[in-house]
Structure 1
Amino acid sequence: MKKIKCLGLVWLLASGLTGFAKDYPVSSAKELSALSLKPGDRVLMKAGEWKDQQLKFKGNGVKGRPIVLMAANAGKTVLNGNSTLDIDGSWLVVDGLSFANGRLDSGEVVNFSEKSFSCRLTNTSVIDYNSSDDKVDYTWVSLRGTHNRVDHCLLKGKNHQGVTMVVWLSEKPNYHQIDHNYFGPRPELGRNGGETIRIGTSTWSFHDSFTLVEENIFEHCDGEIEAVSVKSGRNIVRNNLFYECKATLTLRHGNHSEVIGNYFIGNGKPGTGGVRIIGEDHNVRDNYFQDLTGTGNSAAISVMAGLPNPILVSHWQVKNARITDNLILNCKEPFAIAAGYRKDRYLPALNTYFAKNIILSNVSPLKVYDEKVVVNFEDNLIFSTAFSGEKGRGFELRNEQLKKGSSGLFLRPGQADFKPFWESEQIGPGWFLDINKKFTIN
């Protein structure tokens, strides 16, 4: 019996489940690197300015007992200068840090290493971490490894070259999760390379990522035409708010991704766009588009023309796109067919299915850039004074009015009033004020 009890104690000690966790107060990156951390341990970063600190957070927690690196007072540990953070291990949590007004020459401000697994960055901000030269290229958050999460963070004010947040691919899927974050204003860069989120790269675009982007707010993310650029397969972008973004959610490379239940609110701001579709077997459904002014590539929903004999960086032909149950309201160009068509980019979308969508428009709901493209229209409702040419071919005209809910959003016929996620969920760090403001919908 004693032997059995001893063996049980050995197992508990080995598994890190004994509860003998420790708190380690630190005041520098050097002190952090000297620690030998075990499951359940917490590292408490002293409040104040941390300048030019390269934090290396290493260790292996276990499920239910992660190792935590946290600000002793959330939001009061401020990293600047050329400070960076590298997350390298498993079941590691970073909580409550503030990166502000620093700058790098290359690399990334926060990096999840290639070996990272089930790690988390939460309740953290990166604000105005900019080089004085806007052509200097570095990323604010890089997600490598697998099953990592970035949530309840705030990133705003990036004005230099490079994507704000990148999911980097490898031979195996990532299964990352990006949720409940606030991505604040990013001014126009004037060239390619100003995305807010990019999932993958052109060279890895035929690999699957399985990344979930959910319940984030993108406000005035105007860096370039793609606010979110999907360049890999089997991702889900679900229930996010794109507020007055002079950009689009672009399925740029890769196949089998889903765009579900997102809100695109333009309020008439010039160049505001919706969803751009390139590639195969994408599903775009239950999204809400209102007062967007973009056309062609930046239409509310844009199905692109494809290039013949494409290479990895090309615009691949659209095949088997399913566009269903979307609500498109007062947009300048509700549905663009064969957008980007030209002499060298002419492959028509194949087997496009456009069904059960509701369009409210005082302009023609369809813009066809290539008459050769055949779209399967079915059971769509049109509330329009300018609709012509498609009646009886998958469209039904309605004279009734759509009602607005308490949030200012229009409701589908028969839909009950509801609160959108940004009125009911915590978005961004809990210590950062005024993110969950009421977004005005004209």
Structure 2
Amino acid sequence: MKKIMTMGLALLLMSSSWKAQAKDYRISSAKELDALHLKAGDRVLMAEGEWKDQQLKFKGNGTKGRPIVLMAANPGKTILNGNSTLDIDGSWLLVEGLAFANGRLDSGEVINFSEKSFSCRLTNTTVTDYNGANDQVDYTWVSLRGSHNRVDHCLLKGKNHQGVTLVVWLSDKPNYHQIDHNYFGPRPELGRNGGETIRIGTSTWSFYDSFTVVEQNIFDHCDGEIEAVSVKSCKNTIRNNLFYECKATLTLRHGNHSEVYGNYFIGNGKPGTGGVRIIGEDHLVRDNYFQDLTGTGNSAAISVMAGLPNPILVSHWQVKNARITDNLILNCKEPFAIAAGYRTDRYLPALNTYFGKNIIVGNTEPLKWYDEKVVVNFEGNQILSASFSGQQGRGFELKNEQLKKTESGVFLRPGQADFKPFWESEQIGPSWISNLNKKIIIN
């Protein structure tokens, strides 16, 4: 017994010693950060005020229970501008409470997770209007390299120049990144390719696995280009996000085996608003909610693309084995577009597509065939309408039934219990910015 008590006391003293070794450092420049030799448990507190043209290099190796922290002494009050950047290089590093605003770069990225970064986290941070005078200049706001990193509870809005807002870069090993509870604010139309809000991978790496999870984010008026979220890799999960009045789509552009479920696409009748676009093999699109979208073809509520023969990595690959189930589609101009993008050189039909147990509400034709030779397996779908007079059968049943509307403006499926959507029950964006979800109004 005495020996056990002695060992316990020794462990307690060791734990206390480790805690005592952790230090707090207060800094007011990137040069002061460079001079530090940080250890697990240390915290670096950045002074309030303007930090102009500061290239922050945050390095070190923490542990799961004792990360190294770089944080604003007062969240949101450390303002980085000019050509300020942040490089996160190490393991178990935590960045919190910074505000990048009204700066600009000539290239590169505002915030970068290095290739060696592991289990690092960026949270409660903003990047707003970090734009130069020339919208042709291409740079990224957040680049995710390394593995098992997380970006959460951040606000990124106002990007109006060339380049993706947040990019996941691939390597020959899966990265397992997590992107959650962020508020991606308005991004105006760029007028050309390269205006995505999130891109997971690149065309040249599109057949490598990523295992990135994107969940419980709000995409608010992300209109940069047709792809608000562009998936260019394999085995990703995009779930429980809100796409609010985005003149864009969630596009499975390259790669295979991704899941898209539990997302909300709210158009409120805004021109060009879209849903999910499917390209590639073995994708699952289920339990999503589409309401008042006006997009057609590539921007329909659910769009299955025609494929190119003999495709190269940048091509539109043939759709195979897509399963589209249990989605609720309300008052959308084009609920399901089949062989969208069909033309004389892009004609490969989707193979083995299953469209089952979906509910379509409205008085318009549920299907738009851009190539009527495509074979789709329809099963157990319902059309809820008081006046629809189109063709029934082929896996569709017409019902005269109305859905219940919640206080949030979301309609419930038949038999579904009332609930609050995630943006009304979860903290989205930085904790020091209030009422972001008040912008979400469903007509």
User: Does the pair score TM above 0.5?
Assistant: yes
Q: 1:400: how far off?
A: 1.3
Q: Unpaired runs of 5+ in structure 1?
A: none
CA contact (8 A) 1:290 1:329 kept: yes
Match of 1:226 in 2: 227
Q: 1:34: how far off?
A: 0.5
Match of 1:180 in 2: 181
Match of 1:388 in 2: 390
Q: 1:42 and 2:73 equivalent?
A: no
Match of 1:270 in 2: 271
Residues 262-320 of structure 1, C-alpha deviations (whole Å, 9 max, x = no match): 00000000000000000000000000000000000000000000000000000000000
CA contact (8 A) 2:82 2:102 kept: yes
CA contact (8 A) 1:276 1:301 kept: yes
CA contact (8 A) 2:292 2:331 kept: yes
Match of 2:170 in 1: 169
Q: 1:332 and 2:333 equivalent?
A: yes
Q: 1:387: how far off?
A: 4.8
TM-score normalised to structure 2 length: 0.96
- After TM superposition, list the pairs within 5 Å mapping 1:304-319 onto structure 2: 304-319=305-320
Q: 1:246 and 2:222 equivalent?
A: no
Task: Show structure 1 runs of 4+ deviating over 4 A.
Answer: 15-19
Match of 1:105 in 2: 106
Distance verdict in 2 for CA 1:16–1:326, change over 3 Å: farther
Q: 1:257 and 2:258 equivalent?
A: yes
**Could you tell me which amino acid in structure 2 is paired with residue 179 of structure 1?**
D
User: Identity percentage over the alignment?
Assistant: 83
Distance 2:434 2:427 in 1: 11
Match of 2:116 in 1: 115
Match of 2:363 in 1: 362
Q: Unpaired runs of 5+ in structure 2?
A: none
Distance 1:142 1:18 in 2: 33
Match of 2:215 in 1: 214
CA contact (8 A) 1:299 1:333 kept: yes
Q: 1:16: how far off?
A: 8.9
Residues 44-100 of structure 1, C-alpha deviations (whole Å, 9 max, x = no match): 000000000000000000011100000000000000000000000000000000000
Match of 1:192 in 2: 193
Q: 1:403: how far off?
A: 1.2
Q: CA RMSD in A?
A: 1.7
Distance 2:126 2:17 in 1: 31
Comparing 379-388 with 358-367, greater Cα deviation is found at 379-388
- Give the number of equivalent residue pairs: 437
Distance 2:389 2:97 in 1: 52
Distance verdict in 2 for CA 1:16–1:272, change over 3 Å: farther
Comparing 145-154 with 16-25, greater Cα deviation is found at 16-25
TM-score normalised to structure 1 length: 0.96
**Could you tell me which amino acid in structure 2 is paired with residue 358 of structure 1?**
I
Match of 1:432 in 2: 433
Match of 1:136 in 2: 137
Distance 2:315 2:80 in 1: 40
Residues 111-168 of structure 1, C-alpha deviations (whole Å, 9 max, x = no match): 0000000000000000000010000000000000000000000000000000000000
Distance 1:246 1:187 in 2: 10
Q: 1:40: how far off?
A: 0.5
SS in 1 for 2:438: coil
CA contact (8 A) 2:19 2:41 kept: no
SS in 1 for 2:33: helix
SS in 1 for 2:31: helix
SS in 2 for 1:423: helix
**Could you tell me which amino acid in structure 1 is paired with residue 268 of structure 2?**
N
SS in 2 for 1:437: helix
